[in-house]
Structure 1
Amino acid sequence: MIPDVSAEEYLLLSGIQHMAFCERQWALIHVEQVWAENVRTVEGKHLHERADDPFFDESRKTVRIVRSMPVVSRQLALRGVADVVEFHYSKTMIDGETCQLKDRDGWWCPLPVEYKRGKPKKDDRDAVQLCAQAVALEEMLGVTITSGCLFYGETKRREAVEFTPALRQHTLELSQKMHQFVRDGITPKAKKGKRCAQCSLVDDCQPYWMLRHRPVAAYLARMCSLEADE
């Protein structure tokens, strides 16, 4: 639980993927309100435009598909929109796993599905975003969700994600750090890495310049030392 946060101070759930990717990138976007487009962000936007139709509600015999579903979590103090939530029909109630839906008979098991451009990544930035959506859905529906899916535009395949205790804890810690940065007004220093080449904010971030730049305190100490030697 994030302490002392009002509903008006809830942060964007989608930002947790930025936080997992790079703390400085998250702060530039969500604290300093900096944003830039690159090929990856444009492709991702187009992919989500096909998934995020708030008026689309598809029902089949055993599956109800809800797109662009608003979600909110008190535990994480995050709010946002889930790309797709599938509700799978169950003839019987499964304690802690199924819920009832308005104007629908029977019991339903929710499954969050997040759409991403490209292919599966080596890190867990996509998984934590999906996990945060699951936590929100659990609070809203009174269920426990054990897994979800990530759909990648390049591979055209779903990847299952298990919401393990470790992933849930990491998701909570990231949300706590996000709120801490907002409270303190902090933008972390740049840390150069391979991920910088993938970032749309590399020109605003200036990681290479910042890493070459010496701290002011060190500069002043060196100048004072030179004056003392003279």
Structure 2
Amino acid sequence: MSGYREEDFLQLSGLQHFAFCRRQWALIHIEQQWQENLRTVEGDIFHRRAHNDQARERRGDVLILRGLSVSSPTLGISGQCDVVEFHADPDGVSLRGEDGLWFPFPIEYKRGAPKSHRADELQLCAQAMCLEEMLCCAVPEGALFYGETRRRTLVSFSEKLRETVRGMLEEMHQFYRRGHTPKVQRSKSCNACSLQALCLPALMKGTDVDAYLRQAMEAEP
């Protein structure tokens, strides 16, 4: 994959939307539509709490950075990591303003519980790939912290997971360049989607939002 210009970067967090539903991602990131529901509000509060503490904290041999900005010209994405723990390690990398060498371990905070799909793992893996490119080091694993279980779930960044990240990001860039919003592919996940009212999955199996709204307005007396 060739490098991307900064103005062509996509939001890293969009990878999770894309993995969950390509149409949801396009509605948010291409059509700029958004609608809150209880899950999105609770998730936003949960993430703000993760970032509310001081941005840099030292706990013995662990340096904790919150809200760390990351990017990758190779993948064409930018965003923030909820938390990155840097563990003192003789095989690590140097950090500005810190003595010694450090090994990064990204942690993403999620409101609910572990899911059956891999959207969360893909987002975390993309963060790790950004850190690798920025710091010139390997990041083999990280963790997802779920609010319901209050536990970390370890995630290994296998080559298969990395290939899925690369493939999805390439597809996202193609959709974005074309301004393409995929048609409805209804599933049980639609019931939990904050964009259900905008997407109208029960009515729009062969059209898009704009076409449906035009038809509705034309039908009005």
Q: Structure 1-normalised TM-score?
A: 0.87
Would you say 1:7 and 2:6 are equivalent positions? yes
Structure 2 residue identity aligned to 1:41: T
Matched ranges for 1:62-101 at <5 A: 62-90=61-89, 92=90, 94=91, 98-101=92-95
Aligned to 2:177: 183
Aligned to 1:124: 118
Query: How many residue pairs align between the two structures?
Result: 207
Aligned to 2:100: 106
Would you say 1:149 and 2:140 are equivalent positions? no
Q: Give 1:76 shift.
A: 1.0
Matched-pair identity in %: 49
Q: Structure 2-normalised TM-score?
A: 0.90
Give runs of ≥4 in structure 1 deviating > 4 Å. Answer: none
Aligned to 2:42: 43
Structure (1 or 2) with the larger CA radius of gyration: 1
Q: Give 1:190 shift.
A: 0.5
CA contact (8 A) 1:47 1:117 kept: yes
CA contact (8 A) 2:183 2:206 kept: no
- Distance in 2 between residues matched to 1:2 and 1:21, nearest whole Å: 26
Would you say 1:209 and 2:208 are equivalent positions? no
Gaps of 5+ in 2: 208-221
Deviations 1:30-57 (A, max 9, x none): 0000001011101100000011248521
Aligned to 1:198: 192
Q: Secondary structure at the match of 1:33?
A: coil
CA contact (8 A) 1:53 1:68 kept: no
Q: Give 1:111 shift.
A: 0.2
Q: Give 1:72 shift.
A: 0.3
- Distance in 1 between residues matched to 2:52 and 2:190, nearest whole Å: 32
Could you say what the CA RMSD is over the residues aligned between the two structures, in angstroms?
1.4
Would you say 1:137 and 2:131 are equivalent positions? yes
- Distance in 2 between residues matched to 1:178 and 1:159, nearest whole Å: 27
- Distance in 1 between residues matched to 2:94 and 2:183, nearest whole Å: 47
Q: Secondary structure at the match of 1:49?
A: helix
Structure 2 residue identity aligned to 1:60: R
Which of 167, 171, 174 aligns to 2:168? It is 174
- Distance in 1 between residues matched to 2:29 and 2:96, nearest whole Å: 35
Aligned to 2:217: none
- Distance in 2 between residues matched to 1:18 and 1:36, nearest whole Å: 14
Cα 1:212/1:11, change in 2 over 3 Å: closer
- Distance in 2 between residues matched to 1:42 and 1:23, nearest whole Å: 21
Gaps of 5+ in 1: 214-230
- Distance in 2 between residues matched to 1:153 and 1:49, nearest whole Å: 13
CA contact (8 A) 1:63 1:88 kept: yes
